[in-house]
Amino acid sequence: MKPFHTAVPGGVLVPTYWSRAGRWISGYVLSEAGEAIGFGVIDATTRQAHRLNDDSNSYDLAWMPDGRHVVYFTNQGKLVMQDVQTLERRAIAGTLPHPPDLIGGIVASPDGRTLYYASRQSQANIWLVRQSSPTPP
């Protein structure tokens, strides 16, 4: 089965998530080269689609409980909240405990007071295990 998508300026919108009330369908926008280049939404009542941004290459955004605002990371790792109708955006101030994985997931709690996001792994443990010398019989 061929995936559904719809044309928007600069590419095609691949729908992924319904808003909580079911009015909007959000998704990522793919360029002609197949790269994620932003987000968009489809109004399920009018079947009209439009782009939200052109400064993210992620596949996930989070719907807020009001069903009108979304939250996502830009390519620079800034957390942004955007109104899907007016397109008004504002940066969310604050310090994150870990840098975001810019193509990873993000989701909001049902009350919208907590965001869960994928973070970039910036450390690794290296272990050295030495074989013990054989003991004489």
- Judge if pTM exceeds 0.75: yes
Asked if residue 122 is part of any domain, the answer here is no
Task: Tell me, yes or no, whether 36 lies in a domain.
Answer: yes
Which domain CATH number covers 71? 2.120.10.30
The answer to whether residue 1 sits within a structural domain is no
Judge whether 78 lies within some domain: yes
pLDDT at 96: 83
Q: Is residue 132 part of a domain?
A: no
- What's residue 124's pLDDT? 60
3-state secondary structure of 92: coil
- Over the chain (137 residues), the average pLDDT of each successive run of 10 is 74 93 94 93 93 93 96 92 97 85 85 88 62 63
- Cβ-based neighbour number of residue 37 at 10 Å: 20
Asked if 108 contacts 95 with a C-beta cutoff of 8 angstroms, the reply is no
133 within some domain: no
User: Which one-letter amino acid corresponds to residue 107?
Assistant: V
> 124 in a domain, yes or no?
no
* Tens digit of each residue's pLDDT (9 = 90 or more) over 25-45: 999 999 989 899 999 999 999
Q: How far apart (Å, rounded) are the C-alpha atoms in residues 83 and 53?
A: 11
Mean pLDDT of the chain: 87
pLDDT at 125: 61
Query: What is the reported pLDDT for 130?
Result: 61
Note down the domain range covering 79. 6-117
**Number of domains observed in the structure of the chain:** 1
